[in-house]
Amino acid sequence: MGMDPDAVAKAFVDHYYSTFDANRSGLANLYQDNSMLTFEGQKIQGSQNIVAKLTSLPFQQCQHSVSTVDCQPSGPSGGVLVFVSGNLQLAGEQHALKFSQMFHLMPTPQGSFYVLNDIFRLNYA
């Protein structure tokens, strides 16, 4: 009985960005101590440090709109690789920023997933 990676990826992406846009500190339970975020080239390890970084970003409000979600099953333990591209609209800014983000999701014993690896980049024209 395998999980459908596409369904996992879609559900995760919907949850991640709606949580990010509404309440960034709510993302803490998606990461664990061994999780790593690379944000614009800066590596950050552990759930607490990752959420500290995300909540300290220099904008209060933002709106992600996802353009594409690609995913692949990853490894024997049931992980899922998720690659996202889309637009990031910051409050008060005229133009949206393009972004790409890659997540490596790993299953938890409870039957959900957590983010082991997260790489985020803005795509400057």
Q: What is the pLDDT of residue 85?
A: 97
Fill in the DSSP letter of residue 91. T
- Which residues are within 8 A (CB) of 58 and not within 5 positions of it... i.e. 6 or more apart? none
Q: How far is CA 76 from CA 14, 73, 81, 90, 102, in A?
A: 25, 9, 13, 39, 19
In contact, 55 and 23? CB cutoff 8 Å: no
Q: What is the pLDDT of residue 2?
A: 61
Sequence spans of domains, the chain: 5-122
pTM for the complete prediction? 0.93
Class of domain 5-122: alpha beta
User: Over the stretch 44-63, which tens digit does the pLDDT of each residue have?
Assistant: 999 999 999 999 998 888 99
Largest Cα–Cα distance in the chain?
Answer: 47
